[in-house]
Structure 1
Amino acid sequence: MKKRSELLREAIEEMIAVGKLAPGQHLDETELATQFGVSRTPIREALIQLASMGIIVMRPRRGAIVAEISPQKLIEMFEVMSEIEAMCARLAARRMSPADHAALLAAHHACEEARNAPDPDEYFYRGETFHQCIYAGSHNAFLIEQARTLHRRLRPYRRLQLRVHGRIDKSFSEHDAVVQAIIEGRSDAAGELLRDHIMIQGHRFTDLIASLSRISNQAA
């Protein structure tokens, strides 16, 4: 059974991922304790865990804030994420079992159903499951651990870029091409397709930065 602090960490992390707590926003321990109906001790433990993951920043005598990432570092992190996911896709194309294929197809179909859901975050959640299937399909425990760690760090930004008009439909089309390449065992193609799917460049990066500026102004 998970400790209370771990459950609180997951809840606060989710609030950050879906934009309820914006980059740079102050995290008041007393307010969070009241919101969750707990003492400040497990809240503090949860914040320490989030700080160790790089999701928040603990500042001496000034409290915690949601971590902010500079545009340059964001590009660098997505570059690394795209290479890690490309490696997962290449290995998945070579190593996935029929059961793995079935799980991937089920996750892909769930994404298709979520494309027109009233809540745009429904596709975000289904997409996370889709990517987790590819990580698992690599059958490389260390790689899976690294992919999940960086995925978690970039969750708020992956969600935001899906808010750009038309991005969800484009994302699903990219997923479809990745699925076909993996199932057909075309490892190099699967890697290239997933790398391009993750990497943010040009208009996609400009749109993401504009979204970040908008929510930062709302939080101010």
Structure 2
Amino acid sequence: MKRPMDITYEYLKEKILNGTFLPSQKLNEIDLSKEIGVSRNTIKKVLLKLEKEHLVVTEDNKGATVKAYTLEEVINYFEIREVLEALIIDSAIKNITDHDILKLEEIYNKMESTLNEVKFVEYPTLNKQFHNIIYSLSSNKQAVEMVNMIKSQLQKYHLRTILIPGRNESSCHEHKAILSAIQNRDPSAAKIAIQTHIANIRKTIVSNYNLLM
């Protein structure tokens, strides 16, 4: 049975990441306590935890609000992620097996099928599975941890890129280039492919920032 802390944490984090709680929205402790059915002290502890993950901002005498990122901050985070993803995939290729490549191929084929069948809702989950296999194979666990933190912070922007016409198709082509480099066990090509992919996400967000807010 989950503890009240865990239930509250998962509930609030999901609401923030899926956009139910909007950037700069005030998070009232009393209202949340009643809504979730936990003590106000539990809400306080969870908000402090979310603040450490850069999802919430707390101020004395003002309470907590959902963290709002400026366009410059979003760009900076994606530029950092480009560097980290290159480090991750470089070490992952050194550890990859034929079985791992088969799993990536299977996921990629499903990604392609969702687009052909216009099942866009399923695409982000497959996308996440594809990258998670690469992360699991990397020996640079610190880089993986930092990337996951960045992805968590910017998830609400990233997920909404599926609404941009043509972005899913471009993403699929980018994943094919990543897969091809991995199949060839070519770290140089893999680093270029992954960095191109992340750079294109960044460019899509920059070009459509107002729509994605």
Tell me the TM-score normalised to structure 1 length.
Answer: 0.84
Show the counterpart of 2:148: 148
The answer to whether the 8 A contact 2:161-2:204 is kept is no
After TM superposition, give the deviation of residue 110 of structure 1 in Å. Answer: 4.1
Matched-pair contact (CA < 8 Å) for 2:90–2:190: yes
Q: For residue 20 of structure 1, what is the amino acid of its counterpart?
A: T
Deviation at 1:5, TM superposition (A): 1.7
Partner of 1:61: 61
CA contact (8 A) 1:114 1:126 kept: no
Q: For residue 111 of structure 1, what is the aligned residue in structure 2?
A: 111
Q: CA RMSD in A?
A: 2.2
Q: Which runs of 5+ in 2 are unaligned?
A: none
CA separation of 1:102/1:139 partners in 2, compared to 1, >3 Å: closer, same or farther? farther
1:178-205 CA deviation, whole Å, 9 max, x = no partner?
1121121011111111111112455541
Alignment of 1:24-39 (within 5 A): 24-39=24-39
Aligned length: 210
* Partner of residue 133, structure 2: 133
CA deviations 1:100-150 (Å, max 9, x no partner) are 323333433443344422xx5432233222222111122332222222222
Are 1:23 and 2:23 an aligned pair? yes
SS at structure 1 position matched to 2:23: coil
Shift of 1:25: 1.2
Task: Identify which range, 177-186 or 99-108, moves more after superposition.
Answer: 99-108
- Flag the 1:203–1:127 CA change in 2: closer, same or farther, 3 A: closer
Residue deviations 1:2-25 (CA, integer Å, cap 9, x gap): 643233223322222221111111
8 A contact 2:181–2:189 mirrored in 1? yes
Provide the secondary structure at the position in 2 that maps to 1:58. strand
* 8 A contact 1:91–1:138 mirrored in 2: yes
Match of 2:48 in 1: 48
- In structure 2, C-alpha distance between the alignment counterparts of 1:201 and 1:141, rounded to whole Å: 23
Provide the rounded CA distance (Å) in 2 between the counterparts of 1:179 and 1:196. 13
With 82-91 and 58-67 compared, the bigger mean Cα shift is at 82-91
Q: Does 1:206 align with 2:207?
A: yes
In structure 2, distance between residues paired with 1:38 and 1:5: 8
CA separation of 1:31 and 1:110: change in aligned 2, threshold 3 A:
farther
SS at match of 2:163: coil
- Tell me if the contact between 1:85 and 1:194 (Cα under 8 Å) persists in the aligned partners: yes
**Counterpart Cα distance in 2 of 1:204 and 1:50:** 24
The offset of 1:159, in angstroms, is 1.2
Amino acid at match of 2:97: S
Cα 1:44–1:84 change in 2 (3 A) is same
The structural deviation recorded for 1:60 is 1.2
TM-score where L is the length of structure 2: 0.87
**After alignment, is 47-56 or 196-205 more displaced?**
196-205
* Counterpart contact for 1:107–1:129, Cα < 8 Å: yes
